[in-house]
Amino acid sequence: MADWWDADGRRHRKQFSTSSAAREHEHRETALAHAERASREMKLAVRTGGRKTSQQKKDNGTIESAKGKLGVMIPGMGAVATTFVAGVEAIRKGLAKPIGSLTQMGTVRLGKRTDGRSPKVKEFVPIAGLDDLVFTGWDIFEDNMYEAASNAGVLDYRLLEQLKPFLSSITPRAAVFDHNYVKKIDGPNVKKGKSKMELAEQLRDDIRNFKKTSGATRLITMWCGSTESYIEPTEAHQSVKAFEKALRENDEMIAPSMMYAYASLMEGVPFANGAPNLTVDLPVMLELSRKNEAPICGKDFKTGQTLMKTVLAPAFKARLLGLSGWYSTNILGNRDGEVLDDPGSFKTKEESKLGVLEHILQPGLYPELYGNMFHKVRINYYPPRGDNKEGWDNIDIFGWLGYPMQIKVDFLCRDSILAAPIVLDLVLFLDLAHRCSELRGLGIQEWLSFYFKSPMTVPGLYPEHDLFIQLMKLKNTLRHLKGEELITHLGMEYYDCACVQRAGVAARSIPHASYNRPHGNRKPSSATAGTADPSSPVVLEP
Ligand SMILES: NC(=O)c1ccc[n+]([C@@H]2O[C@H](COP(=O)([O-])OP(=O)(O)OC[C@H]3O[C@@H](n4cnc5c(N)ncnc54)[C@H](O)[C@@H]3O)[C@@H](O)[C@H]2O)c1
């Protein structure tokens, strides 16, 4: 019995007296089928003047167009938010480039490596254009975006001066704030209400009001507020009913960020969480997100030190190098650093940063290599550095026969410069998810894990932290939405030219050798012998 697949991917089965006859038939038929398909594609290319030659792909689900303005609402108009908004305006004005943004500069490979199809992400999927973005925000301070950006000290004042009229026009709405959750700061621009439910209602009014005044057709909320004190989920977070009761009763376990999330999801607005707070990582928010088809994602932007960790740790595991210790320390002097100087806020951040190694290295599976590792994370507030953080890592590894080695990483980064393109991509991808019939009802958008230190998953599923797995997941999601083949990197088909030639098929007509199994030294079948030109090279790109 032998199976073979025709050019349209249909499976066929045939009975043979010997297994070698079966294999011979299988190879010949498959090679013929691919040659046939290649020839069909070439004819089509001639007819269509060289445009796309493969079969028309069918999208999975529908994606509504990105017509109209996209309103971006940001609780927390600090360093990250202002660097993002100023950056978008600078790019719109042609003053700078969107470096670091996958949606703006990234490409996605389609089909075989030999196909030469790598469109830009923004041309492949219908994401909103930068010109369509409009902004609003909330903050406990009254500074407009220009003043807040100047205070943050991230961007050069000469650039900010050129953006001043635009940035000054974005003034903060009064915030919902609770000093118990962010102990190091206090400000005057805060809403008042008898209950947390009343405050959440005021946020919902803000959202409706912004939609009306800005003329936006769609909205996104992006939490860029300070890191709140560490708490664990309670009964109040388990369902919408319990949460609403807790809002009415002023339950202290409801943090301000949760009220923004509740208000957004109630208004059907997607919500992304850039901080490590629980916020949307709660059963109540998943319930609301699914019910109102407003996608959610989080937590904690993956920018500097953790980005490096999720690149290096997979390399150690890939090479089965052991790890005995990883000591990470940071110095930073911006307001975020000041907030994180409080033990409650630091604990929230620490939890988010610590989870990464455990999940990547899987000590349960590799006890001799990772069963006894010591992992420590410190963040030190050091004002002279401002937003220019230094993330320093000492890594103790061991190799063959247990011999120890050390690696030192010293990343002198700019926190908000790394975070701003992440914010942009999240805004655009979350809006895409919201317009996509296949994604909008899922709740958590795990394909956006790429951007987070502590990616959200449905309960019971461990998160993927490896940066390259996350990127593959993201790009495969885009391919899937557009009905393109997923890329598995199996790649055996590239090594099939010998089979194709032996089968006697005109190898030159095959733009890429497409067959799925290398095989031994077999003679060509008489049925097809003589039609191939064995001297003609089949060019196989790496
Ligand atoms: N690379 C990065 O910069 C990075 C990386 C990962 C996560 N984060 C997180 O992103 C968030 C923003 O970082 P940042 O550097 O812009 O901090 P920041 O201190 O400059 O800005 C935070 C702003 O949030 C405001 N705020 C606090 N509570 C609020 C509330 N309840 N409502 C409205 N506004 C509120 C503060 O007044 C402040 O202006 C922080 O939680 C930080 O931990 C930043």
Beta carbons within 8 Å of 10's beta carbon, 6+ residues apart: none
pLDDT score for 538: 35
* pLDDT tens digits, one per residue of 185-231: 899 999 999 999 999 999 999 999 999 999 999 999 999 999 999 99
Q: How far is the CA of 277 from the centre of ligand 1 (A)?
A: 11
Q: For residue range 341-373, list pLDDT tens digits in order.
A: 888 788 877 776 777 898 899 999 999 999 999
In contact, 81 and 220? CB cutoff 8 Å: no
468 torsion bin: left (phi>0), alpha (psi -120 to 50), beta (else): alpha
pLDDT, mean of residues 261-281: 97
> What's the average model confidence in pLDDT over 527-534?
34
Give the list of residues 6+ apart from residue 471 with CB closer than 8 angstroms, or none: 450
Q: What global pTM score does this model have? A: 0.83
* Percentage of the residues of the chain whose pLDDT score is greater than 70: 81
Q: How confident is the model at residue 36 (pLDDT cuts 50, 70, 90)?
A: low
415 alpha carbon to ligand 1 midpoint, in Å?
11
- Please work out whether the CB of residue 141 comes within 6 Å of at least one atom of ligand 1: yes
Task: State if residue 415 touches ligand 1 by the CB under 6 angstroms criterion.
Answer: yes
DSSP run (H or E) holding 50: none
Per-residue pLDDT at 2 exceeds 70: no
How far apart, in whole angstroms, are the C-alpha atoms of residue 407 and residue 336?
Answer: 28
pLDDT tens per residue, range 166-176: 999 999 999 99
Residue 508, token pair as written in the block: 């030159």
pLDDT tier at 529, thresholds 50, 70, 90: very low
Cα(461) to centroid(ligand 1), Å? 28
Is ligand 1 within 6 A of the CB of residue 84?
no
Q: What is the pLDDT of residues 455-475, one digit of tens each?
A: 999 988 989 999 999 999 999
Q: Whose C-alpha lies nearest to ligand 1, atom 1?
A: 415
Q: What is the mean pLDDT of residues 126-134?
A: 97
pLDDT at 494: 85
Q: At residue 314, does pLDDT exceed 80?
A: yes
For residue 177 and ligand 1, the question of a CB distance below 6 A is answered with: yes
pLDDT of residue 323: 97
Can you give the pLDDT at residue 21? 54
List phi, psi (to 5°) of 532. Answer: -95, 155
d(CA 362, CA 370): 7
Going by CA atoms, what residue is nearest to atom 2 of ligand 1? 415
CB of 175 within 6 A of ligand 1: the answer is: yes
**73, β-bridge pairs:** 136, 221
Residue 78 in contact with residue 148, Cβ under 8 Å? yes
- Are 229 and 279 in contact, with CB atoms under 8 Å apart? no
Annotate 435-496 with DSSP letters as a single string. TBTTTTTSSB-GGGGGGBSS----TT-PPP--HHHHHHHHHHHHHHHTTPPPP----GGGG-
Cis peptide bond N-terminal to 473, omega within 30: no
In this prediction, residue 13 carries a pLDDT of: 52
Q: Which amino acid is at 130?
A: L
Element (H, E) at 509: none
d(CA 356, CA 465): 6
CB 31 within 8 A of CB 513: no
Q: Is the CB of 335 under 6 A from ligand 1?
A: yes
Ligand 1 centroid from CA 303, angstroms: 14
Residue 518 has pLDDT above 70, yes or no: no
pLDDT at 507: 41
**Of 163, 331, 299, which is closest to residue 225 (Cα–Cα)?**
299
- Is the per-residue pLDDT at 53 higher than 80? no
C-alpha span between 424 and 104 (Å, rounded): 9
Enumerate residues 6+ apart whose C-beta is below 8 A from 123: none
> In whole angstroms, what is the distance from residue 292 CA to residue 313 CA?
38
What is the whole-number distance in angstroms between the Cα of residue 227 and the centre of ligand 1?
A: 6
Q: Supply the DSSP symbol for 381.
A: E
Q: Report the pLDDT averaged over residues 496-511.
A: 50
**What is the model's pLDDT at position 522?**
37
- Establish whether residue 439 lines the binding site of ligand 1, counting it when its CB lies within 6 angstroms of any ligand atom: no
Distance CA(272)–CA(430), nearest Å, equals 8
- pLDDT for the residue numbered 56: 53
Q: What CA–CA distance (Å, rounded) separates 105 from 241?
A: 43
Q: Is the CB of 182 under 6 A from ligand 1?
A: yes
Whether the bond between 241 and the residue before it is cis, its omega within 30 degrees of 0, is no
Check residue 44 and give its pLDDT: 47
What's the CA-to-centroid distance between 80 and ligand 1, angstroms? 7
pLDDT band for position 540 (cuts 50, 70, 90): very low
Inform me whether the pLDDT recorded for 6 exceeds 70.
Answer: no
Q: How many whole angstroms separate alpha carbon 357 and alpha carbon 223?
A: 25
- Residue 225 near ligand 1, beta carbon < 6 Å: yes
Distance of alpha carbon 501 from alpha carbon 524, whole angstroms: 8
**Closest atom of ligand 1 to CA, residue 81:** 16
Average pLDDT over residues 500-511: 46
pLDDT surpasses 80 at 274: yes
- Given a contact cutoff of 8 angstroms between Cβ atoms, the answer to whether 135 and 170 are in contact is yes
- Cα Rg for the chain, rounded, in angstroms? 27
Cβ atoms within 10 A of the Cβ of 325, count? 14
* pLDDT value at 121 more than 50: yes
Query: 377-431 pLDDT, tens per residue?
Result: 888 898 888 888 899 999 999 999 999 999 999 999 999 999 999 999 999 999 9
Q: What is the pLDDT of residues 155-168, one digit of tens each?
A: 999 999 999 999 99
Whole-number Å distance, alpha carbon 285 to ligand 1 midpoint, is 21
Mean pLDDT of the chain: 85
Q: Note the pLDDT of residue 24.
A: 55
Q: Tell me if 395 sits within 8 A of 407, measured CB to CB.
A: yes
Class of the CATH-defined domain 305-412:
alpha beta
Please indicate whether residue 85, judged by its CB atom, sits closer than 6 Å to ligand 1: no
pLDDT at 312 over 90: yes
pLDDT at 119 over 60: yes
Q: Indicate the class that CATH gives domain 69-302+417-461.
A: alpha beta
Q: How confident is the model at residue 532 (pLDDT cuts 50, 70, 90)?
A: very low
Work out which ligand 1 atom sits closest to the CA atom of 80: 16
For residue range 57-92, list pLDDT tens digits in order.
677 779 999 999 999 999 999 999 999 999 999 999
Q: Is pLDDT above 90 for 152?
A: yes
**Residue of 83, 136, 151, 224 with the most ligand 1 atoms within 8 Å of its CB, for mutation:** 224
Task: Yes or no: say if 280 and 456 are a contact pair by the CB < 8 Å rule.
Answer: yes
